[in-house]
A and B are shown apart, each in its own frame.
Chain A
């Protein structure tokens, strides 16, 4: 472990988390808010909705047996929701156009369901009808937003911030546990890597054994080795014998060549006994040597 790491004071992971949470919330707030400094209060919509729920509860209390016409309830719910989204859209902080889209869809769904006159009594059927009436438009609207470069810019910034936080958090946690003399995930991963490498070696050995079993490779027995030695001796014998024979042939040819040369030399001496003509003798000797070389090459 580097010395620097030992002396570094571990950071409090909880503090890091809080810091990152604040930063990333701001990043997303900026994206949704179109980089403006104004702050959108999404809870305004919820408050509006909660208010309508409270009113409905009051009505239920006032009605006999605490029950009321579900159509009235759904209409009130629609009104409350639409009002909430309308307020949000009017706040002018809807750069991605989601709120406006949502509002349009809510109004469309209300009109559709009112025209059909079939406000169901149970909440699920109502929700299902509402989902069926809006999901295509909603999917299209979201698809248009998340497929934009603007959205990806936000995602890119978020990713940068999140990964940076995660790296720091991980490093801080590792240091913290190291200082406590406890093994960390990295330590365990290192041990696991050794085990995996060992397994790989065993796997290779198993592979080789299987090749033997499958007949793709054969084990050498002492008999096969002895057989090979015998074969080698035979081969060696043949080769040496053959080479010796060839050498004998070459030697006999050389003898013949030498004899022929001697004859030529003797004939030359007999035909031209003048000692002064050394140049001519040299030429004859050179000629004889060339002939000898040529014969040796051929043999």
Chain B
């Protein structure tokens, strides 16, 4: 039986149409949002890399500056997503002197850049520039994801002063296939040859890296994200955070070819870091050289850097003052959102506070 129902009013139809248009515009044109708004200045550049110094919001309370080192993939503004939802903004407001190393967007001419360049040339020079700008003698190094792996290697090669503290956020160190979830299968050398990709593309396109990361949770990333979007549009909820996150997720940068080759072969396929077999320009990276205080942060729901991958650090370093802090969050959710504001940021502040005087 066909039953009649009430006819929607003209304004209902107009509103529905408007919402439909908003949603379709986002899908077709991509999310647009103002990100990375904490005031900053560029104090040093090298090739595409930039070193930012965030303008102090209050008088500096801690003499030990913080250097944030991001991964080679994606953009670092996820650490300064938007006002009120930014780790950088939070730290600046607590009176820390904050710096961030943005690797920039590599071009074809950067396809030969490797971890040797990043760990032995870029980071040391950024540290020097930061100490100079901050008039400081010591600093805290904070590495996120692959930036954490690079920071750990740097800390192992340059232990002692001026490095005062090391903080690793969702940082993969152990790449044993059993610990890596889907990545363990996907990067298996039987099926995955990084040389093929590097030889074909030079730099690995951001879209390819992005696809790999999304495929770890395809339903959530390809469908769930848009279900959330429509839900927010239809029910007139705030879209700011969703737009900022969506913009970031779709804003991948190419991975320099040589570094990609090393990342897959030496780390994922041969797990050389935990074996102490990584050598950068002939210098062996031994994580046991790390003796400074270390805060190692990981997420239980992280599929990109699984818990065991991050936890391995604890047994490899020699630091007496070390802590493994686990949150019930994913790779990115750990840094942003209400849970981060409630759990992670205060933890970082209190840990640093004691070690930055």
Q: Which residues of A are interface residues toward B (Cβ below 8 A)?
A: 59, 62-65, 67-70, 72, 121-122, 124-125, 127-128, 131, 135, 138-139, 142-143, 146-149, 152-153, 155-156, 159-160, 162-164, 166-167, 170, 185-186, 188-190, 192-193, 196, 199-200, 203, 207, 210, 214
Q: How far, in Å, is A17 (CB) from chain B's closest CB?
A: 15
- Complex interface residues of chain B between 204 and 228 (CB less than 8 A to chain A): 215, 217-220, 223-224, 227
Given contacts A62-B2, A69-B3, A166-B201, 17 further A-B contacts (CB under 8 A): A63-B4, A67-B5, A68-B4, A69-B5, A131-B227, A146-B182, A146-B218, A152-B191, A153-B191, A155-B186, A156-B192, A156-B193, A160-B196, A163-B197, A185-B108, A200-B46, A207-B128
With an 8 A cutoff between CB atoms, is B107 at the interface?
yes
Indicate whether A142 sits within 8 Å of B234 (C-beta atoms), given known contacts A163-B199, A189-B107, A190-B109: no
A-B contact count (CB 8 A): 114
Contact with B4, one of A67, A139, A143 (Cβ below 8 angstroms): A67
Q: B200 touches which one: A170, A196, A207 (CB < 8 A)?
A: A170
Q: Count the B residues whose beta carbon is within 8 Å of the partner chain — how many? A: 40
Residues of A within 8 A of B196 (CB): 159-160, 163-164
Contacts A135-B223, A159-B192 known; A121 to B5 CB distance under 8 Å?
yes
- The 10 tightest CB contacts between A and B, nearest first, are A192-B109, A156-B191, A189-B108, A163-B200, A139-B219, A152-B191, A69-B3, A189-B109, A166-B200, A163-B196
Q: Which residues of B contact A153 (CB under 8 A)?
A: 191
Q: Are A127 and B108 in contact (CB under 8 A)?
A: no
Q: Is B230 an interface residue (CB 8 A)?
A: yes
Inter-subunit contact B227/A128 (CB<8 Å):
yes
Contact A199 B47 (CB under 8 A): yes
Is A68 touching B2 in the complex (CB atoms < 8 A)?
A: yes
Of chain A, the residue at the smallest CB distance from B188 is: A152
Contact of B185 among A70, A122, A152 (CB under 8 A): A152
Instruction: Decide: B185 and A67 in contact? CB cutoff 8 A.
Output: no
Contacts of A193 in B (CB 8 A): 109
On whether the beta carbons of B197 and A142 are closer than 8 Å, the reply is no
Tell me whether A70 and B46 are in contact (CB under 8 A). no
